[in-house]
Every structure is written in structure tokens, then in C-alpha cells.
Structure 1
Amino acid sequence: MPDSASEPYDLAVIGAGCAGLAGAVTASELGLRVCLLDGSGQVGGQFFRHPAPALGALRPQALHHDWPAFAALRQRLEASDTRRLLGHQVWTVTRGSGELWTVHALSGVDGGAERPVRVHARAVLLATGAYERQLPFPGWTLPGVVAAGGAQAMLKSGLALPGKRIVVAGSGPLLLAVASSLAAAGAQVPAIVEASGYLRYVTHARALVANPRKVLQGAVHGASLLRHRVRPHSRSAVTAAHGTDRVEAVTVSRLDQDWRPVPGTGRRISCDALAVGHGLVPQIELATGLGCATRRTPDGTHALVLDGRQETSVPGVWAAGETGGVGGWELARVEGELAGRAVAFRLRGVLVDPARVRELRRRRDRMRAFADAMAVAHAPRPGWTHWLDDDTDVCRCEEVTARRVREAAAELGARDARTVKLLTRAGMGWCQGRMCAAAVACLAAGGGDEGVPPSPERRPLAVPVPLGLLGSPAGADEAGADEAGINEAGADE
């Protein structure tokens, strides 16, 4: 590790999920000085969330079917010299003096006193993961309606369920894992509602054959659902949630090819919770703030453009995992190792095993092809806007209804999400459009295929930052100076 505050790290890794862990331990084992930052107090990311020790869980591995792989990564991390700054929320990355990168973070985001921290490094690896895409519908703001991944996170990290009778709905393979884990934990799951159909995978037979493990995982989840008598509803969607103080029932409707509800097919299913999500969106705000190039993915989101070594269009900035396109934890681990090896070769000239690199690239390309097949199969279709009535909140933060968005498009000439934002404040709230950008863009375009979020804007702040900290005279602590890795603010200024 660095001996003084003036000596930078070789690599700063942002994100301690599978991609970040693999990249950090690989680079450290190859002789690099590495600092790993994550906003959570534990490593593992979203997929390998696990209960805090205070909860006294006896078998946390029971909540994960791939726990040994994570345990091996964590053991390698603990055996390495990697500096771990957990509970540190990174809000921006800047180019510092002498071709160094400066990572700006806030410590204490989990409830302690927030303090600014800076980490200097010669290279940066972005492994920031993804967040869930939500498509609004009447009643989606009722208590008891949660994100699909959020329901799984409650179970994994808090050993809690969002309800006793939980409908799982949306689109994408995550629904299978969520429904099976909730059922195994004791919840009654009366239905799993999938807007797409799994028959679309047949058109990508080569990707299926090349990834038998993925097919097996799907079969295992399917068998679990059958065992727990969870009823599947394909080519259907929850088009309304009902209740007063809490969700009490949902309406499930059949969908046509464009995801428009088929008249007369709605039926009610009673429940006290709804877990819903329509796939994942790469979290790339830090990267776009640096000017990294993006590409549109097959399901209409935006991911980073990466070369064969996982480097972005900005030299010295690498990325791995969902930032380059959603593909699951195994793909993230492979890409993290590839990035770690590439950085070691670039910075230190470390000779890496060519055979190992070739094998990693083959595995990456194979799994990336399967990820693209999933994206095509579950991509939202424009007819979903027919679920909405005029009083449905599209932007929850600013309480902007579908009527106001439609009026901005029809009467004021708005044709994209940015113009609607200026006219209605949709997307100006706490989440900064993460929850509503896709919905606003589709409504502004009249529901056409062009109604997808525009290329992400460059923003100086990736997450909300207290104004007082930005203007503090000390500026920031220096990470890596002493045994704890952090000095008091302004001590060495």
C-alpha cells in the first residue's frame, strides 16, 4: 500500500461486487497497490448481499446457489494487500495532476458522520453494477409494491419478506430467481407474471447451447416454482395495483405482441405485496461524467463501449460487469479478472498468462452472447404505455402524472425526455430520473420504438452530495496515508 499521502495507488476499484472483487484481487496478486471502494459496509454487491453479523444468521449461504464462488473471492481479498474503503460513496472521479486520477467519496454514508475522502490512483476500474428498470402502472406507488430485486435484497440482507402473499411480475430472468427464493423462504407466491415469453430464446439456440450452465440454472428455478406451486403467467403484466393503505390485489392482463393489454383479459389476484421489475439498467453515471463513450443495448438501455481489454474510450479507465451490459455475476467475475490483468500489464509490464487470458476472453464472449439474447427476449415493447391512465404518477419523486407528460408532448411540442423534464420537472427528484427516464421518453415519443432514454448526460455529481461538504475549507481527507487509510480532514493540507 502507499507509504504516504503523496504516493498514489496503482488502481482504484469502485464497486465491491463480483466484478470489482475479481479485478481488485487479480491486480493485487499481480503486485499492484489497490484500493477498493464501495458504498455498502460489506463486499458482495447486489447479487451476493448477505445478512449483517448482528442478525446472527447461521447459514447465509442458503440464500445463494453460488456462495462458494463468492466465498473464494472474499478469501482472496482478505489474503491480499488491497485497501478496503467500505461505506464510502463515490460521487465523482476527476483527472488529477501528473496523469493521476482522483476518486472523490463520502465516508459514513451508512449512518455515521459524513466526511469527504480522496483517493489518488494511476488507473480506475469502474464496477458500479446496475439498478432496476421500473415501468409505472396505476397503483405502483402503494405501500407493499417493491422492486423485484429489492424484495430479494430484503431477504438476503435483512432476512425479511415484503409480505406473506407476494405476486412477482415484470420481465426478465431475475423474476425466476426472486420468485423461487421468496417461495423457499416461506412466502406464498400465487403468480409469477412475465410480460415476454421464453420461446424467444429459441431464436438464439447457439447462445443457449454455448451456455448450458445458464440453461440449467433456469431449469432449477423452474423446478423450484413447480414444487412450490407457483403459477406462471407468460405474455401478461400487472396493469394495476389496488388497495387503500397497502396493496391488497393486482390486476393481471394478457398482452399482445407490442405489450398492449388485451381487452377483457384482466383478472384480479389477491396479495399483500408485489415485487415488480423490468430488467436492469447499467449504472454508468461516473463513466459518462468522465466522457466515456456509450452504446445502446438490445433492450434499449445504455452501456459503456469497451475494448477487448475492458478499457473504456477514456485511456486509464477500465470497466467490468454490468457497466458494459447486464450479464450476471459470472460474466462480471470474468470481466473483472480480465481488467485486473490488463491494468497490471499496462502499468507495471507484468507478464500475464496468455492461455489464461485467451480462456477468459472466450468465456466472456460466450456469456456476453447469452446476455444479448436475454436482452432481446425481454426488451420492453412500446405498447406498455396503454397500461397508464392519466392520473398515474410517472415521476414519483416530483409527482408528475402521465397526463402532464402527455400534455407536454401534445400541446407544448416536447419530443424527448430532456424537454419534458424542463417543462414538468419529471426526473428532477432525488433519483435523478433513474426510476422514470424510460417511461418519460416513451410517453414523449408517443409510445414509439424511438421512445428510449437518450444517451446519458455528463454530470459532475453521480450521487447527491451535501453542499456543506463540497464547500468545506479542508476539501477532503487523503486516503492511504496511515494505517487506517484516512487522515482527519485538513490534517495535512
Structure 2
Amino acid sequence: MKKSNPVVIVGGGPSGTAAAAMLGKYQIPSVIIDETSKIGGVIYRGPLRNTATLPHLDDNLQRAMSALRTRYEKHKSFIELKLQTRVLGPEGDQHLLLSEGGGLTTLEHNELILATGCHERSVPFPGWQLPGVMLLGGVQLQIKSGLVKPGSKMALLGTGPLLPLVACQLHKAGVDVVGVYEASAFNKLAKEAVALLHKPKLTLNGLSMMSYLKKHQIPFRYGHGIVSAQGDTYLEQVSVAPYDDQWRPDISQAKPLDVDAIGVGYGFVARTQLAMLLGIEHDYSKVSGYIPKLDDNYQSSQKNTYVVGDSSGLLGADAAICEGQIAALNIVHQRGLLDSATMEKEKRKIERKHARIKRFRFGFDRFSARQTGLLDLPQDDTVVCRCEQATKKQLTDAIDEGVKDLTTLKMRTRIGMGDCQGKTCSSYALDLLHQAGHDKNTGVIKPRFPLDPIPFTFMEETLNEQV
């Protein structure tokens, strides 16, 4: 293999950019493919237009965004960016099919790093399809990237550290935040105090955010969550209630809130559709969904193909950077540019940091562990699969009649047959199967090629070029 062959990296977030920078340090070229117009991923992408001030972004986030940009700038002579480019899937042996610049192209790879990140876990409930009901990451993306207020009067509901962060960002952007509702009880968080001390700076950051909310009289309620959303043509009101330890709402204590938008966040799922199309072996994780089987260098069952960042398990941006660096170090070693002893020394240093992050993150995972009460939020007529309009009753009827796996459930109800290929509905459907006692050989809704629809104009132009 020629040393000049670029490593292909899918995803320009923290892990992909860190991998490219590490490769560049040893003068190995790389190509980063990303579907957006800026590197940084959802978390560090930053505003898509120039602005004099960023009142809604805290100092820590701005420093992290700056550090990612510095990492790229230092080694950019070895990094080629293919922005606003989508990977549609594998094309033959060691090639990817890309949608870029108004047409279709292919890109060869000898070494491939997948840093495709994650997508949000959808939790259906009555009214969840109303305009104004948004997932928490989407709310944050509007605030950070577009400098757009998602609403004027909002509530945030769900679980995890993103809740207070987004609440602070919204308030600083001028949104009236009427309340923040965390599904888990406070005493459950207190039990994770030792785990949280593995990242004291992040823990202090969280305390600072909670202090900000208290100072500005923004209610933060532990052990509360969503019941339903109401409105004629758009969101006008949301019902919240106390949750028990299984996250079942006490309807007798439900409280209405007048809002024009809400952010709902009950976790994320690893984005592994491309990895599956490439034939990489996966295992199921309750926290992250299906994640690839990897060795300690983040190499998959496919030789010279690595998976890093949230697409290999949900540990956050700092851990993603570590994983990208370790995968890159292994490539440097494989190319003969780093001896085994030096490589292992550098790797151990990164692994120690990664281990601290993992212990911290596992504490939050235990605190925010998804409970079965969420499965009971939808009513029989609540749509679960938006693409095919499949309802909860259709899914539960099929399971009651003997369906035990996702493939059969897909054939019976058409879930996963739409354009999103199950990204919206499959996690909920899988949880229903597990609740019914089918936790073995439940399978997965397999992704289809191409991962995104190809416009007919693209295909026509490509055919004309070939002729």
C-alpha cells in the first residue's frame, strides 16, 4: 500500500476530525466526508452564518469549538474536506457511492474510519407529531447552527445532562423556558456521585448550569415527564406529570403548560446504517442500540475499517476524540511510521483519559436508564412509524399474535419501510418486543441501499456522463 493513499473518514465531528489531525501529524493524508457545510458535528459545528456575539453559547462550548478548529487548522494541509456530501453506501469493493455537487461520484478507500455519530431516540406519545414538538438535539441545533429561536415559550422534557444545557442556551437566546422536567428522581442521581467525580470539571459545569436556572427562576423538576401534547394545527399545550420509578406518569397529578414548542430528549441511538451495509458485525446495547463489534483499536470485523465516536457507543465528544486518535494511531503503526513500543505508549495515555470519561458517562447512563413506562405513553391510535403511519395498536396486535422479531414485525405492519428506514420507529418497536419477553434473536431492521433517496436528475446526469 502506498503511503500517499488517503484514509477516508466518514463524519467530520469530534472523532473524525481528531482522527484526521492525528494522521496529519504523521503526514498521512485523509479525506473527511460530511453532509453539512461545516466540520464539528452537531455538538461543535457552530453558527452557519457570521454573527457579532454568541450570547447563548457558554465559554466551555466555545473553547471546545475553537480547539476542534485549531486541531484541523494545524494539519489541514493533509486533510481534504468533502462537505455537503452524503455517503449513499458501498459501491463494489472498497468504494463508496457519494452524492455531491449535484451528482453521483465514487471514492476508493484502503482504510476507512466511520465516525457517523448518533441520532435521537424517538419516544412516541399522543400529540408528538404536532408542529412545535421537537427532539432536544434538534432544538440545540437550531440554536447553535442557525441562531434561530425554536419557540418563544418552551418546556424541556426527558432525561440526561442535555436538559439543563439546552435550557440555559434557550434562556440566553431570549426564550421563555417555563420548566425543565427530568424523568429520573434526584436520589438516583445522588447515588452516582462517585462516578461523576471522575470528571470534576464537567460536574462543576453541570452545577453551574443548575445554579443559572435557579437564579433565573426556571423550574427544574426531577421525577417528572411528558404525558401528551395538544393543539389544533400546532402545539398549544403540553401535559406533564410526576413519574414513578418505572417512568409511569401519575395522570391524577397531570399539569397543563401553555407552550408553543417543546424539546423532548429520552436518549440517542448509534448511527450504524452505513456500518451495517458494509457487513460489519454488531451487538445490541440497551443504551446505544446496535453497535459494531470492535477490537481495542476500534477496528471492526472488516479489515482496515474502524468505527469511532458515538457510532460505536454513546460516550460523548471527549471520548469520541480519544477513539478517533487511537484508530488513527493504529493506521500510522500499520503503515510502518510508528514502532510498536511508541504506539502502545501513546495509546495507553489516551486510553487512561478515555477510561475516566467512560466511568463518568456510565454513571449518567445508570441515572438515565430508559424505563418501561415510556412504552405506555402512546394510545392505541398513536402513530409510531411516521413514514408508514403504523399505530401502536398495529404493533401490539402483531406481537400478541405471535410476532417475535423485527423482520416479521416489519412485514406485518410495514414499520421501517419508509424513507427513514426505521430510524424513527425501530427503537420503540424493539423495546416493545423486549417488554413482551422476546429478547433473543429479535434482529434488526436492516438498512437498504441507497441510505438516502437518489433524485432522478442525479441518475440521469450520471448516465449521460457514462454514455
Identity fraction in percent: 28
Contact 1:415–1:445 (Cα < 8 Å) also in 2: no
Aligned residue number for residue 317 of structure 1: 305
1:122 alignment partner, SS class? coil
Q: CA RMSD in A?
A: 2.6
1:210 alignment partner, SS class? coil
> How many angstroms apart in 1 are the aligned matches of 2:173 and 2:440?
39
Aligned residue number for residue 192 of structure 1: 180
* Between 135-144 and 368-377, the greater mean CA deviation after superposition: 368-377
> How many angstroms apart in 1 are the aligned matches of 2:413 and 2:38?
39
Aligned residue number for residue 364 of structure 1: 354
> How many angstroms apart in 2 are the aligned matches of 1:74 and 1:198?
37
CA distance 1:300–1:339, change in 2 (3 Å): closer
2:207 to 210, 219, 222: 219
Normalising by the residue count of structure 2, what TM-score does the alignment of the two structures yield?
0.91
How many residues matched? 461
Task: Work out whether 1:15 is the aligned partner of 2:4.
Answer: no
Contact 1:136–1:393 (Cα < 8 Å) also in 2: yes
CA distance 1:199–1:342, change in 2 (3 Å): farther
1:72 to 46, 64, 67: 67
Aligned residue number for residue 137 of structure 2: 149
Aligned residue number for residue 446 of structure 2: 457
> How many angstroms apart in 1 are the aligned matches of 2:23 and 2:288?
33
Aligned residue number for residue 307 of structure 1: 295
Aligned residue number for residue 407 of structure 1: 397
Task: Work out whether 1:379 is the aligned partner of 2:374.
Answer: no
* Between 78-87 and 68-77, the greater mean CA deviation after superposition: 68-77
Task: Quote how far apart the aligned CAs of 1:121 are.
Answer: 2.3
Aligned residue number for residue 423 of structure 2: 434
CA distance 1:197–1:444, change in 2 (3 Å): same
Contact 1:397–1:430 (Cα < 8 Å) also in 2: yes
Aligned residue number for residue 480 of structure 1: none
Aligned residue number for residue 32 of structure 2: 36
1:396 to 363, 375, 386: 386
1:46 alignment partner, SS class? helix
Aligned residue number for residue 150 of structure 2: 162
> How many angstroms apart in 1 are the aligned matches of 2:129 and 2:4?
46
Summarize deviations over 1:100-127 as a string: whole Å, max 9, x none. Answer: x32221113xxxxx21122222201111
Aligned residue number for residue 81 of structure 2: 84
2:6 alignment partner, SS class? strand
Aligned residue number for residue 227 of structure 2: 239
1:259 to 244, 247, 254: 247
Structure 2's unaligned 5+ residue stretches are none
CA distance 1:259–1:422, change in 2 (3 Å): same
2:327 to 332, 336, 339: 339
Partner AA of 1:185 in structure 2: A
Task: Quote how far apart the aligned CAs of 1:179 are.
Answer: 1.2
Partner AA of 1:380 in structure 2: R
> How many angstroms apart in 1 are the aligned matches of 2:233 and 2:462?
47
2:110 alignment partner, SS class? strand
1:271 to 247, 254, 259: 259
Task: Quote how far apart the aligned CAs of 1:465 are.
Answer: 3.0
Contact 2:56–2:172 (Cα < 8 Å) also in 1: no
2:201 alignment partner, SS class? helix
After superposition, residues 44-123 of structure 1 pair within 5 angstroms as 44-53=40-49, 56-60=50-54, 63-64=57-58, 65-79=60-74, 80=76, 81-93=78-90, 96=93, 101-108=94-101, 114-123=102-111
2:165 to 170, 177, 187: 177
* Between 401-410 and 134-143, the greater mean CA deviation after superposition: 401-410
> How many angstroms apart in 1 are the aligned matches of 2:308 and 2:180?
31
CA distance 1:62–1:140, change in 2 (3 Å): closer
* Between 443-452 and 386-395, the greater mean CA deviation after superposition: 443-452
* Between 140-149 and 214-223, the greater mean CA deviation after superposition: 214-223
> How many angstroms apart in 2 are the aligned matches of 1:300 and 1:127?
15
Normalising by the residue count of structure 1, what TM-score does the alignment of the two structures yield?
0.87
Contact 1:195–1:237 (Cα < 8 Å) also in 2: yes
> How many angstroms apart in 1 are the aligned matches of 2:41 and 2:70?
16
Task: Quote how far apart the aligned CAs of 1:267 are.
Answer: 1.1
> How many angstroms apart in 2 are the aligned matches of 1:374 and 1:350?
37
